[in-house]
Structure 1
């Protein structure tokens, strides 16, 4: 009797849907992560040329802070229209358009010649970048079933964390080109980083695929299975009741979450835009050395962030951990006003660690704490309004530095805001179900609305 070959078990061979998801993660995520890394570098690189802009263009600390913050006004105004246009044109056209456009704006920033052009280009940069981050998350909903989006979102957000680490050394190295061909180093920095953004955007146009049906690297069976899984999730979400944005603004939990996230954004963006100038107070450092030292707080923050996520996985109540992280951020901001610049760098590192860990804890808690019928729209409101902290904090820092000659007043304000946010955490709703791993969505649709908690 001839033995028959054993049939492959369903457990040993992934089904068509799993194979399709795996192919998407391998083919699409690397370019999306690179785009996000460049995105973060281009919106924050201005923090490394504050002194140069003051000396060459006459941009005061107040003007610098206002210009840095104007980015977020343009971003907030055009975020929703940009997402609507992406649904019409598809990710391949719209995401690459966004990236090429912001690259052109960064390239144009090498031509800044007065405060007005600085203001205009920072605002236009926000308009150009508007919709990129939520657009990618929307792209995930068009390609991935709910059960796979948490992993994709976590990998994608890793690009943001990496950007904080590499921006300093890369930007510092480009600033060392000062005097080459008689051109200032900050102009070289904007020109080269803008050009690189344009090139990455062009390359992305050849990799991104807008719709499942257009993917040549999927078999017909994989296309059918993946499309069916995504359609099931979209149908379930379409049955959710619609809630007006106005009603959400006065919803107690949404308002509380917005206030807490606003305080977190104050600290996060203040550190982002003012860290290089704080490091420069050490004295005797080259631009590249300032860039290297500016990466230290973010390296520590990323390590702490991932350690915290493992430590708090499945914790029944993350509120105490979030409150402790916010207090740590407040302590770091306060200590930065004491001692030498080297001691200030250590203190700012504590503030960055507290802020990044707080962001890791905040979004899963927010997702799990809101009623499902308002979760998606509610988190969009929290993200949109909370991110305005990115306008307030650099503007406030600049004004206080010009009027008092020091950034201590701004650091005191950050400490107070973080303490108030920690107190507010006690009023956040405790999730009723099991917690999701930190940094991953606790529900399906809210993942789309998860904000840029950087």
Structure 2
């Protein structure tokens, strides 16, 4: 927390809290809405798949490859996209991202065959590359370190809401089969792509590039934010490599990137296949959609509670690490149990716990890069970690359907996800402990957030 001297005469802690609250109220709903639409456009294929596979004559394996090409495009273009964002500003770059991914999503609704499906999924990854890490980088420009894990938690709640909303509308859109001559799976893409096109215009008009251009902050608030963030960047072990791409060789970035892979792998494997698993319970598409709201509501609660608990307990060191590792281990156990417990209700309950654990481990994790990177290096480093992690999504979308085809079971692939997540969580403990020791050696051990 900033000192009285940092804040300025006559302002005190109340002024700091008020400033952070103002930024939170003005900024986070828009960023959350953007992520909600992004996630719906990323996940809509899991519902379109229920009819799309038969309509286009795709095998489960061919579908999995097409779905996974999103992550290949994302991986190849994410770091350059984030470096470019740092140079041109969030407003223009986020608007460009939203417009292009909305356009590609609508075009997916008019897919004519396997090759077109593959190309458009790859282009969707290219279009969206840089959005998630771009927001994480943007948060380092708006919030002091003490508040970032909680803000990332609020931001990621949008992904849970998106899964819930997507689940509710996905099944309903499939029910529009034949309306205006479009199949139900086509409506899934068209109806979820148009909102991104509309929001791109809003983002271009209302999103500031940073605190210095925010009309809703007073001069004193802008000065306090600027001074506090500058003091954090100049203190401790923050690094700004001369060439931002040099951050890709920072050993701390490489360690975080390597262990993070397990979390997107499990998250995407689970979220893409939950509708298929639930359909195996013998329900209609509409019922399937509404049942799948439940896991993401549970996940939203976990995303709110875990970083808040880390903040309120003042966790640091190994205690802070456990706010990443423990949810991952719980999720791994729940995925394994979903295969062996009897009855659909218990299986589904396990999958709800698995979803909550997999996602809620990530807000505190994503507060870590900001403790040692700054400027363009932070943009490149965060993007590198996320792009490497999203290779887990590429793996999940190929291995999960392959296991399903080989075993003819929708639940056996959960054992693969469980094993990957268990290994990743254990390695995460080792890596985050190493980062903590490195930070102590450099004189800047990270501490958890206090609530704003």
The normalised TM-score by structure 1 is 0.81
Determine the structure 1 residue equivalent to 2:293: 295
Alignment of 1:376-415 (within 5 A): 381-415=384-418
Q: Are 2:317 and 1:314 aligned?
A: no
Answer with 413-422 or 310-319: which moved more. Answer: 310-319
The answer to whether the Cα contact below 8 Å between 2:153 and 2:307 also exists between their aligned partners in 1 is no
Determine the structure 1 residue equivalent to 2:203: 204
Question: d(CA) in 1 for partners of 2:54 and 2:209?
Answer: 46
Q: Post-superposition shift, 1:193?
A: 1.1
Deviations 1:382-426 (A, max 9, x none): 433222101101110122223332234422212222332344355
Query: Number of aligned pairs?
Result: 425
Alignment of 1:3-18 (within 5 A): 10-11=10-11
State the superposition RMSD in angstroms.
Answer: 3.5
Determine the structure 1 residue equivalent to 2:331: 329
Q: Are 2:359 and 1:350 aligned?
A: no
Determine the structure 1 residue equivalent to 2:424: 421
Q: Post-superposition shift, 1:229?
A: 4.8
Unaligned runs of 5+ in 1: 1-8, 441-454
The answer to whether the Cα contact below 8 Å between 2:153 and 2:363 also exists between their aligned partners in 1 is no
Answer with 105-114 or 26-35: which moved more. Answer: 26-35
Q: Post-superposition shift, 1:182?
A: 2.9
Question: d(CA) in 1 for partners of 2:391 and 2:202?
Answer: 32
Distance verdict in 2 for CA 1:301–1:19, change over 3 Å: closer
Q: Name the SS of the counterpart of 2:361 in structure 1.
A: helix
Unaligned runs of 5+ in 2: 1-8
Determine the structure 1 residue equivalent to 2:72: 73
Determine the structure 2 residue equivalent to 1:188: 187
Q: Name the SS of the counterpart of 2:112 in structure 1.
A: coil
Q: Report which of the two structures shows the higher radius of gyration computed on alpha carbons.
A: 1
Q: Post-superposition shift, 1:361?
A: 5.3
The answer to whether the Cα contact below 8 Å between 1:100 and 1:197 also exists between their aligned partners in 2 is yes
Question: d(CA) in 1 for partners of 2:189 and 2:240?
Answer: 46
Distance verdict in 2 for CA 1:190–1:20, change over 3 Å: same
Question: d(CA) in 2 for partners of 1:304 and 1:214?
Answer: 34
Alignment of 1:38-437 (within 5 A): 38-146=37-145, 149-150=148-149, 152-219=151-218, 222-223=221-222, 226-231=225-230, 233=232, 240=239, 242=241, 244-245=246-247, 247-248=249-250, 251=251, 257-285=256-284, 287-312=285-310, 313-315=313-315, 317-318=318-319, 323-338=325-340, 339-360=342-363, 362-363=365-366, 381-425=384-428, 427-430=430-433, 431=436, 436-437=447-448
Q: Post-superposition shift, 1:273?
A: 0.7
Question: d(CA) in 1 for partners of 2:402 and 2:448?
Answer: 40
The normalised TM-score by structure 2 is 0.81
Q: Post-superposition shift, 1:199?
A: 0.7
